[in-house]
Structure 1
Amino acid sequence: MTSYVIIFLLFIVNKSIQGSLVVTPTLVVTAVNKSFIVSCYDSNDKSVVVEWSGRHGKLGPNTRPKVQTGKDGTRIWFNMTTLQDDGTYLCTSSKNESIQFKLVVEAPLEFMDTSPEQKALEGRDVTIRCEVRGGRRTWSDEDNNEINDTRIESIGDGLLIQNVTRKYSKIYICKAIQPNTGTILEKRIRLKVEHAPTFIPPQGVADHVYGYLNGYANLTCLVEAEPPAKFEWLSSPTKFKKTGNVTESPNQSILQLKLEKSTFGKYKCRASNSLGKAERIIILEEGVRPDPPEFLELRGANSDLLDLGIKGPDMKKLNASDSMQPIGFNVRYRSRKEEEGSDWSQREFNVSQDNSYVLRHLRHNTEYEVEAATRNVAGLSEYSNISIFKTLPSVNDIGHNLEPEFLSVFIPSTYLVISIALTKL
């Protein structure tokens, strides 16, 4: 603020002593590496000789900045400004009048010591480092909203978060602003809060998974962990030998097993990283595979949907417990126009009390092959026999299909009516 007061006072003094001398512009605020000229002349007499001087004395054609003479007076040419060009320059005429020009050169706006990815340990204080040179700094979240959190404070070299938890693992935006030049830079910083693995959902006493003989079962371990966890599968009392397939993605491991009598039992999933480990017990139990649905019918149709009715099997006929009752259906469908062997589209449905299972976004006026399988906690049944259902024509289909017939009937009939009327006349 003080510098701007000084500049204003210089401008007032300048006005009082300049007489007929004119300098354009009188003040320039710029960043480095900018080029421009400043002219000085006597407004009453263009023949009056003027000269420029800077902090190191008189300026000429071979100095920095250099002086040139043109139709618009004697001018200074600032070529690719540097911080050393900052200061006050004086234009003096042969009539002993003078006028000042003020140049403010801002340092380059840049980030220092600012990594785009930074880490913290859960439960400790952390400073997200972001230092700005040549301007001031503000912070926002990744949606450019102002950060409003009592545990977060902007300090000299960054953003302080006290007692950090994993919810603070996100992107923060450090914004550098140079008000005088209007320059704005942004740095997106991702904070990773490191912690030991924890299961999703939280670990209970034990998890139960069901399957049926000669079928397959998936045992799944899903954790939160940073750094990402490594997984092991164990079957008591020794480490599990991989007779199944293990599929892994960041912080998730799925063990797929082909089920035999000896496969059922307890399994342990162990997830670990450099900060700790977590274990989960999964009990694989033998269940009853459901039968296919008793029937699959069409309840209604539109130009882009089929409303299906599906009745599940009576599991009491299989001597199954209540836990083996149907919980949903898998419906597969494809257009009959598709080539043989084309892929099926699939939809998963939970059991609906109104017995309505709607396939949407279908083609109009099209026949579909549809089949359904029952799902319970042990897995899927075989699929039902294929049924053929058709969507209705669209409005355009109706207009297009009826137009030739309409014309063939309407034109002769109209001709006949007109002919009879003319005969009577």
Structure 2
Amino acid sequence: MTFFTQIMLSANPNDGEPYLHVMARSSVYNAGVKRAIYCKGQNLPELIDWVSPAGDVVEGRSTKNTRVYVERSKNDSLVSSLVALIIQEAMIEDSGNWTCKAGSLNETIEITVGVKAIISNKYETVEGEEGKSVKFDCVAKGHPAPVVQWYTENDPITNDHKKYIIRVKADNHQLEIKNLTHRDTNEYVCRVTQKALSHFSDKRVQLIVNHKPLLVDENNEVSYSKYKTEEVYAIMNETKNITCSVIANPPPTFRWYRRQNGYDDEVITDSETVLYSEDGNSSVFVLRTLDTSALGEYKCSANNSKGHVSIIYHVSLGNKPNPPDFIELVAKSISDLTFNVTCSTCNMASTEEDMSEDPANLTVLGYSFALVPVQEGFLPDWDAATEFILDIKEYNDTLFTVGPLMNTTTYHARVRTRNAAGFSDWVTITPNPTTDLASRLTISSILFLIYILYPLIK
């Protein structure tokens, strides 16, 4: 039995009634695909013809007609007829209404031929200059015409004529960003959608803005001033790390100075005293307060080709906080330990207004925890410990969760108080806390379950 015969037998029109039906629905095809669309009929007034969107009757295959043609069944007749419309390689010009007709009977389907949008240079890195503009191109050719939208951080960018300007010329959807600042450093995404073809594509542009250094505080708040002063408190006979942080591109050059009588008296170059971060955007001055001569003013300057900033640190003595006097393990999980910690002899603020600026009685800011796994027969190796520095977020809160930690592990643990000047002495936490056992199936238990359940599901 041939395929044509199978299709004919599947029809079940009323006996004697004229019947005509296209065996396909209106569809969207990608350019280049091959399709065969069948039209069947019985008891017809005339033989079946296919008519193109241009109104032309489609002829059979010939040497001049090899792409779009019709094929008829060998037993084609008015009583029973089946005609296939063959499209060997779909093109955009094939889009439109195709009609199967026999006499006054006809049925039409709509064919849409689409070309998926192709984006060149899908990944780019672009440098822009502070105060200037930058333009990104997104050329998306396709049919039907794609919908194009620019995004940053998943938020759509709209044309506001001040900061963002979107220009559409032919297939190019160009985004211009004006008056660049450090905040514009980001990834920008041109998202291309052809819903009819279920096609999605995008182009990603990483923008790097070259800008002057900007000072950043410990809360990552940016200061737009070129100069700044800051009070720093140190504890006698201890080390104080003073961190100078900026955001800048290109990365800045840091210099530290010891100031005398309001002048930059001496450049500090000791490699053990001045340290730098891996990203090049911060520098740490390690101040060793061996006596009162270490107190006074220090200056950090950060310079790049776009500008410079500086900050002056006034270093004075502050009080060493008292250690906590109550520590209790109150909760544990497979990865965390929660402690109740208080210091009854410390200066604890009950509100933000109660924060003390008296160097001799600085307010406690939080606690530092150090944990290292217990090794039977060995003393704790505190140099290998992991330190967790936790702030007091609510003034009446005494619960602090430490983690992530390894599950089912016993730790040596200790804690100390922290204020603006530094840390108290360590207090050892006893007994040694242990994280919970992780809930997991072992290989043997999995095999046991398979052994039990297999007869039931076989």
TM-score by length of 1: 0.64
Aligned residues: 363
Match of 2:350 in 1: none
Q: 1:283 to 1:336 in 2, by over 3 A?
A: closer
Equivalent residue, structure 1, for 2:167:
155
Q: Which amino acid aligns with 1:330?
A: Y
1:209-358 → structure 2 map (5 Å cutoff)? 209-212=232-235, 214-225=237-248, 227-235=249-257, 236-237=264-265, 239-244=267-272, 245-250=274-279, 252-257=281-286, 259=288, 266-274=297-305, 276-283=306-313, 285=315, 287=317, 290=320, 292-293=322-323, 296-298=325-327, 302-304=330-332, 305-312=338-345, 322-328=358-364, 330-332=367-369, 339=376, 340=378, 341=380, 344=385, 346-348=387-389, 357-358=398-399
Give how far 1:326 is off: 3.9
Relative distance call for 1:311 and 1:221 in structure 2 (3 A) is same
**Separation (CA, whole Å) in 2 of partners of 1:303 and 1:114:** 50
Within a 5 Å distance, the mapping from 1:403-422 to structure 2 comes to none
What residue is the counterpart of 1:30 in the other structure?
29
The yes-or-no answer on 1:109 pairing with 2:117 is yes
> In structure 2, the residue corresponding to 1:380 is in which secondary structure?
coil
5+ residue gaps, structure 2 = 1-17, 75-80, 218-222, 258-263, 333-337, 348-356, 437-458
- Among all aligned residue pairs of Structure 1 and Structure 2, give the percentage whose two residues are the same amino acid: 18
Cα 1:31/1:322, change in 2 over 3 Å: same
Q: 1:173 to 1:352 in 2, by over 3 A?
A: closer
Give the partner amino acid of 2:200.
I
- 1:20 and 1:271, CA in 2 relative to 1: closer, same or farther beyond 3 A? same
Structure 1 residue 50, shift from structure 2 partner: 5.6
Q: What is the letter of the counterpart of residue 358 of structure 2?
A: D
1:33-84 deviation digits (Å, cap 9, x = unpaired): 3332123455425994868889898441661246544487232333453446
Match of 1:175 in 2: 191
Secondary structure at 2:301 match in 1: strand
Is the contact between residue 228 and residue 312 of structure 2 (CA under 8 Å) also seen in structure 1?
no
Deviation at 1:198, TM superposition (A): 1.4
Q: How does 1:42-81 map to 2 (within 5 A)?
A: 42-45=41-44, 48=47, 58-60=59-61, 63-65=66-68, 67-70=70-73, 73-81=82-90
Distance 1:279 1:199 in 2: 7
Contact 1:266 1:281 in 2 (8 A): no
- CA deviations on 1:334-375 (whole Å, 9 max, x unpaired) are 599664426656554668998863344799xx9986644343
Displacement after TM superposition at 1:251 (Å): 5.4
Structure 1 residue 130 displacement after superposition: 1.9
Q: Structure 1 residue 327: deviation in Å?
A: 3.2
SS in 1 for 2:277: strand
CA deviation digits over 1:95-141, x for unaligned, max 9?
89999876542233122466544444443444432222112334254
Higher helix share: 1
Q: C-alpha separation between the residues in 2 aligned to 1:205 and 1:89?
A: 76
Could you tell me how far apart the structure 2 residues matched to 1:56 and 1:179 are?
A: 32
Match for 1:375: what amino acid?
Answer: R
**Within 1, Cα distance between the matches of 2:175 and 2:299?**
41
**Aligned Cα root-mean-square deviation (Å):** 4.9
CA contact (8 A) 1:334 1:369 kept: yes
Three-state SS of the structure 1 residue aligned to 2:320 is coil
Q: For the Cα contact (< 8 Å) 2:239–2:287, is it kept in 1?
A: yes
In 2, Cα distance between equivalents of 1:183 and 1:257: 57
CA distance, structure 1, for counterparts of residue 395 and residue 266 of structure 2:
49
Which has more radius of gyration? 1
**For residue 10 of structure 1, what is the aligned residue in structure 2?**
none
TM-score (norm 2): 0.60
1:195 and 2:211 aligned: yes
Please say if residues 367 and 389 of structure 1, whose CA atoms lie closer than 8 Å, have aligned partners that are also in contact.
Answer: no
**Residues 194 and 24 from structure 1, CA distance in 2 versus in 1: closer, same or farther, beyond 3 angstroms?**
farther
In structure 1, distance between residues paired with 2:45 and 2:266: 101
